[in-house]
Structure 1
Amino acid sequence: MHEGFASREERAALIAELPKAELHLQIEGSLEPALMFELAQRNRVAIPFASVEEVRAAYAFSNLQDFLDIYYQGMGVLHREQDFHDLTAAYLAHAHADNVRHVEIFFDPQGHTARGVAFGTVVAGITRALDDAEASYGMTSKLIMCFLRHLSEDEAEATLDAALPYLDRIAGVGLDSSEVGHPPAKFERVFARAKRLGLKTVAHAGEEGPPEYVREALDLLKVDRIDHGNRSLEDPALVARLAAEGMTLTVCPLSNLKLCVVDDIAAHPLKTMLDAGLKATVNSDDPSYFGGYVGANYQAVADALDLSRDELVTLARNSFTGSFLSDADKAKHMTAIDACA
């Protein structure tokens, strides 16, 4: 046990006590099997599983694409505004239990509009739940609309067109789905347009794709944050650049383990990132599929990598300083973290 913790329980107590922000969460990836069954029945949607246990058994992935296949299948039960509200509310209850004070969640509108679900239906359900969480928990939020990178840039442009009436509720755009073979460069124009509209920009890069994808996200998409970024460590010059620029990486440990980005949580590069001066954060990505919400992700890496008190506090601080909150709001959260440190 690392100096500073007398026991695993003491470490767990600090993790529970620390205020946190979650910056990398696919809301569709928080669809728990029980809710999937409930929504399938509500909307009379056939799903190829006879029980919750069968769904869980299907969550054995060897790579990102295996996961995405079942992810899009699960998405098919979401049809009504209330469905998106219930999905989001269930995630926010988990986040609140983990002492998450601020969330910046992703949603994939193209996965819904392609099924005939109106863009406004998706946004209305999600944002109603976000507003409820602020009223009930004091939890603040930002909503980030992701483009599916296996689709074309023209389709991303059409999605941005559809979002225009809702930009008062959408803080930024992102890039997710199948990474290999779909470099950030493919979306350079639509990201430039989003920037002109005043939106923040993030992109999945360096999860399965090479370090060059991280460079493209920085140089061509001009992102404000890198989602994942693990493979940046293969390029020392890129690591030095990310550290010098203070670029936030939204790291997802249990996701990396489940998708075989790492073979063992003890081999996760999070501590290496911190040692290199990178502004890493801990997030849950798709928690219902990957076996843990944000608190479980903190606990998993803290135990496996023997993280110190200072390292855990740094991760919590990074989650707020890397957020899209105002400086004044960030300062309030820093004060709350200092009270635990």
Structure 2
Amino acid sequence: MATSAATQDLSGFIAGLPKAELHLHIEGTLEPELIFALAKRNGIALPYPSEQALREAYAFTDLQSFLDLYYAGAGVLITEQDFYDMTAAYLQRAHADGVCHAEIMFDPQTHTARGVAIETVFAGIARALRDARNDTGITGYLLMSFLRHLSEQDAFDTLQAALPLRAQYEDLWLGIGLDSAERGNPPEKFARVYQRCRELGFRLVAHAGEEGPPAYVRDALDLLHAERIDHGVRAEEDPVLMQRLIAEQTPLTVCPLSNLKLRVVDDLGQHNLARLLRSGAMVTVNSDDPAYFGGYVGQNYLESALALDLSRAELAAIAGNSITASFLPDAEKDKLHGQLASYLANAA
């Protein structure tokens, strides 16, 4: 068992690793303190007497039990400033964890269904990203994500509402994602809207193989033409699919603490992250919804390293994968890979 001093040393090493975070739902970064502050600012009554009582409600049995609380928490987001404050708080934490670049998923349908204009959602998140870029150098992209428990027509309507904003946010909004409940919502349900997004030149990612079967991973690749698979841990159940993912170096944006919290695994020591990495898959480590799952990206690296006996070289490889798997231009990737190599040389 690692000593506290050794753990602290490892934590410092991880924080220094230049890395990208590729699987992060911005609404999932709402800490109880900010939820209560925004509720007070907007005159919203919460069904919890205190921040601690809300935090104690984060005992999830599966993905759906989390989603129910997640959508309720997002209800405090009303104004552009609310979205700004939420995003700025995440970027500050990410920067402290050594994140140089973040590709942030956001769910407009969660907000437009409550009467919040899609323009408000974009404006607050984008302003925080631009401010952080200017203040700290951290870069970011936006991945507008469709809620898969809603209809494909609803996704089309959301896309149509967002497209007039594209020019205004062309430095940030470059991709499309698919999230929410997998069960009963296969990739094929969104094949046409993904085809349209592909025609429009968007980069494409999709959640698959978290609670859904390996077939959902394959269909996300073949029917949606996803360039990255968010989660993807159940792909291991299909050896042929795994060989394909390894051969094609399809990035998997793995979220270990999320998988633990949502009972995808019962113990972090059972997680297949290390096995996937050592088999040659392009795995990355991310925090998913860190306010709800007990840790931002640095904590995901640290707890995975301790539970799975990941070496510093393997942690560095995961950080390198995150840069390679990002949607940054090649010149920016090369720059970050150079920073990583320099850090490792000095840390040796």
Task: State whether TM-score is above 0.5.
Answer: yes
* Mapping 1:46-195, distance limit 5 Å: 46-167=45-166, 168=170, 169-195=172-198
- How far apart are residue 63 of structure 1 and its match? 0.1
* Mapping 1:237-316, distance limit 5 Å: 237-316=240-319
How many pairs were matched up? 338
- How far apart are residue 310 of structure 1 and its match? 1.4
Residue in 2 that maps onto 1:338 = 341
Superposed CA deviations along residues 100-123 of structure 1, whole A, max 9, x for unmatched, are 100000000000000000000000
- How far apart are residue 276 of structure 1 and its match? 1.3
Q: Distance in 2 between matches of 1:166 and 1:192?
A: 20
Q: Contact 1:172–1:199 at 8 Å: present in 2 too?
A: yes
- How far apart are residue 90 of structure 1 and its match? 0.5
Q: Contact 2:179–2:206 at 8 Å: present in 1 too?
A: yes
- How far apart are residue 14 of structure 1 and its match? 1.7
Q: Distance in 2 between matches of 1:8 and 1:140?
A: 29
Partner of 1:7: helix, strand, or coil? helix
Q: Contact 1:254–1:290 at 8 Å: present in 2 too?
A: yes
Q: Distance in 1 between matches of 2:320 and 2:260?
A: 24
Residue in 1 that maps onto 2:11 = 12
Q: Distance in 2 between matches of 1:162 and 1:310?
A: 45
Structure 1 length-normalised TM = 0.97
Residue in 2 that maps onto 1:41 = 40
Residue in 1 that maps onto 2:217 = 214
Opposite residue 51 of structure 2, the aligned amino acid is V
Superposed CA deviations along residues 3-50 of structure 1, whole A, max 9, x for unmatched, are xxx933432232121111100000000000010001111111111011
Residue in 2 that maps onto 1:320 = 323
Q: Distance in 1 between matches of 2:46 and 2:107?
A: 20
Q: Contact 1:250–1:282 at 8 Å: present in 2 too?
A: yes
* Mapping 1:18-33, distance limit 5 Å: 18-33=17-32
Structure 2 length-normalised TM = 0.96
Q: Distance in 2 between matches of 1:338 and 1:200?
A: 27
Q: Contact 1:239–1:276 at 8 Å: present in 2 too?
A: no
- How far apart are residue 148 of structure 1 and its match? 0.2
Opposite residue 278 of structure 2, the aligned amino acid is D
Q: Distance in 1 between matches of 2:132 and 2:245?
A: 34
Q: Contact 2:15–2:298 at 8 Å: present in 1 too?
A: yes
Q: Contact 1:14–1:340 at 8 Å: present in 2 too?
A: no
Q: Contact 1:95–1:294 at 8 Å: present in 2 too?
A: yes
What 5-or-longer segments of structure 2 have no aligned partner?
A: none
Q: Distance in 2 between matches of 1:8 and 1:99?
A: 17
Residue in 1 that maps onto 2:237 = 234
Partner of 2:207: helix, strand, or coil? strand
Q: Contact 1:214–1:232 at 8 Å: present in 2 too?
A: yes
Q: Distance in 2 between matches of 1:13 and 1:204?
A: 31
Opposite residue 232 of structure 1, the aligned amino acid is A
- How far apart are residue 340 of structure 1 and its match? 2.1
Q: Distance in 2 between matches of 1:8 and 1:155?
A: 47
Opposite residue 337 of structure 2, the aligned amino acid is M
- How far apart are residue 339 of structure 1 and its match? 1.2
Partner of 1:171: helix, strand, or coil? strand
CA RMSD of aligned residues (A): 1.1
Superposed CA deviations along residues 97-145 of structure 1, whole A, max 9, x for unmatched, are 1011000000000000000000000000000000010011100110000
Q: Percent identity?
A: 60
Opposite residue 297 of structure 1, the aligned amino acid is N
Opposite residue 16 of structure 2, the aligned amino acid is E
Opposite residue 12 of structure 2, the aligned amino acid is A
